[in-house]
Every structure is written in structure tokens, then in C-alpha cells.
Amino acid sequence: MADISTSLRAKADQLQQTISYKLNPSISQQRLTPRRVRIAESMREDGLQLKKIQSILYKLADLHESKAIPPSLAEIKTNAQIATVLYGPEGEAKRLLLQLVEGKELELTPEEEIRKLEQGLVGTRIPGFFPTPPALVTRMLSLVPIRSHDLVLEPSAGKGDIADSVRPLLYPENLVHVCEINHTLTEILIKKGHLHVGYDFLQYDGSSVDNSSPAQSIPNIFSRYNVILMNPPFEHGQDMDHVQHAYSLLAENGMLVSLVSSACFFRNDKKTAAFRSWLQSTRVEIHDVEARSFTNAFRSTGVNCKIIVISK
């Protein structure tokens, strides 16, 4: 961030000579004529516009330095880009730039707040947090029919990549239920409009609703889920624990679609062998996943996985 801040401040400093010249043009010191007055006024107007751009450059530098830059302003790094946004069509970036010009605190829209929170996750180490790549989400959804009235759960939902894709498939009032133990990720999920029903998924029994936020305070009228889609943590065999617990929360004829580590199918320790035995006792389909599917994901990992689909 220091390089960006330094560059923005340097650009702002470089404008000062031009601003001073245009605000006090030499032509205004000459004998005034209607033409010279028009030229001088035009130059002063240019100077005021450059002063506005200079002020924005300084404020953008401060925002980068404090790591508070909104995502919609993060790529604005030149005078020309500022002018294009400032004098262009209405939009989020223009609204925020105008707030900077007016010296106001930035008022982010809910969508911008979510993007800023997600941007803050980059480089943050959260155990078990490996968001599902869009291609894998699409494939998982292709393996299960979701009806608009279905009750759907995403356990260990992270920032809600699966839930976000499910939400448009449901009735407007039918929220996707999510569990997430990390409070920052939980804040993102709630801001996105998902119903946070529990923190520790393995302690969730289908009957507890998180009422810590007014937006989440609704009556608990559910018991079992029609569809559960999940990308559980893989460390220490947690994926196996999560799959078995999720199965216990399925309604009759419900379907569970989950990513699991490929190690579940070749490790020979007692826990893994017991999981494979249990899996064989269910109505399960096992689908291969292209190797290294998470390499270019939001948080990269080289782990290989499979998709399992269990019908109850």
C-alpha cells in the first residue's frame, strides 16, 4: 500500500504548479477585454477542477495507507481515471469520490461493505477457510435439483460462495441457512442476507437459530433439511465428521452434496476406514474433481478432492 500511497501523493504534488498558474493566469493581469475575461475565467475553472482532483488524490493516498480503501476506488490511480469517474455517469465510485470532495466520511452501500469485508480477507489466515471456486459451485448445483420452497443449509459456509448461488433459486422469503464459526465470516454472511443458525456446525442440531442480530430474529419452524451443500474443512479428517453430521440433519428424501478430500478414499487409518464403510451403507454417488481445482481459488490450496452426493 505504501507504493500506491506514495505514487498518488506524488501525482497530487505535481499538479500544484499547474493549479497555481491556472488560478492566477497572467492574462488576468493584462488589460481586460471580454475575450481575455472569458479566457481567464475558463482557466480558473480548470484550476478549480484540478484542485478537486488533487484533493481526491491526497485522500485516496490516505485511504490506501490506512487500508480503508473501498474496492470500487482501489484501482483509481491517475488524474485521468479520477476525471473520468467524477464527470462520468452515476455509480458507486462517483458517489464515493464526491463524498471525498465534500470532506464527508465515506458511506458505503451494503454491497460495498460486503466487498470491503471480503477484500479484507485476502492474506488473512483462517483455519479451514478455502472458499469454493465458482466452477465447483456450479458443478455441485448441477448434481441436485433445488425447488424454490426447499429448506437449504450450507454448513461451515465461509463467506457464502455456495449459499450466494443457491439464494436466487429460492422464494424471496426462503433464506439459505448457514453455519459459520468465524465471526468475521459470520458478519459477511448476515450482511448478504443469509440466516445464520449456528457457529460450530458439529454442535448444531437443527433447532437453534442465532438471534444475536435483529435481522436474524425469526421464529424457528424447521427441523430437517431438503438440501445440504457443503465444502467442509479437510484438516484432521474434519470433512468426514461434517458429512456424517450433515446426513443426520437431512429430511427424508433429502440430498447432501459435499466436497471431501480424496484422502478419504485411500487412507487406511481406523477413522477413514469406518467412514468408507458408513458411506457404502448410504445411497451415495462419488464424482471425481479435476486435480488442483483450488489452485486459482480465492484462497489457493493444492489439495485434491471429490464430490459425494448422498440421497436419504
Per-residue model confidence (pLDDT) at position 213: 46
Name, in order, each residue with C-beta under 8 angstroms of 150's C-beta and a sequence gap of 6 or more: 170, 174, 226, 227
Report the pLDDT value the prediction gives residue 150, as an integer from 0 to 100: 92
pLDDT digits 0-9 by tens, 164-189: 999 999 988 888 999 999 998 999 99
> What is the rounded CA–CA span in Å between residue 307 and residue 312?
16
Query: What are 198's strand-pairing partners?
Result: 179
Q: Which residue has the higher pLDDT, 286 or 48?
A: 286
Percent of residues, the chain, with pLDDT higher than 70: 88
Sequence-separated (6 or more) residues with CB below 8 Å from residue 158:
129, 130, 131, 132, 180, 185, 231
Domain at 134-311, CATH homologous superfamily? Vaccinia Virus protein VP39 (3.40.50.150)
Whether residue 134 contacts residue 161, with contact meaning beta carbons closer than 8 Å, is answered with yes
Categorize the per-residue pLDDT at 214 as very low, low, confident or very high, splitting at 50, 70 and 90.
very low
Q: Given 3-state DSSP classes, what are the helix, strand and coil percentages for the chain, each rounded to the nearest 5?
A: 50, 15, 40
What H or E segment, with its residue span, contains residue 224? none
**CB of 94 closer than 8 Å to CB of 120:** no
**For residues 255 and 85, what is the distance between their CA atoms, to the nearest angstrom?**
48
Give the tens place of pLDDT for each residue, 247-270: 999 999 999 999 998 888 889 899
Q: Residue ranges of the domains in the chain?
A: 2-107, 134-311
278-299 residue pLDDT tens: 999 999 999 988 877 776 666 6
pLDDT at residue 211 is higher than 80: no
Angle between helices 92-101 and 34-65 (to 10 degrees): 100
- Check pLDDT > 90 for residue 227: yes
Q: Model confidence at 127, in pLDDT bands (50, 70, 90)?
A: confident
Q: pLDDT value at position 297?
A: 66
Q: Which residues contact 162 (CB under 8 A, 6 or more apart)?
A: 132, 137, 140, 154, 229, 230, 231
Position 219 confidence tier, pLDDT thresholds 50, 70, 90? very low
The pLDDT > 90 percentage for the chain reads 37
Express each pLDDT in 55-97 by its tens digit: 889 888 888 887 888 888 888 999 899 989 888 888 888 888 8
Identify the pLDDT of residue 122: 72
pLDDT at 308 over 90: yes
pLDDT at position 63 is 87
Which residues lie closer than 8 Å to 182 by C-beta, 6 or more apart? 126, 129
Q: Where are the alpha helices (DSSP H) in 146-289?
A: 161-166, 183-191, 238-248, 270-280
- pTM over 0.85, yes/no: no
Is the model's pLDDT at 215 over the cut of 60?
no
Residue-level pLDDT at 118: 79
Range 104-111 average pLDDT: 68
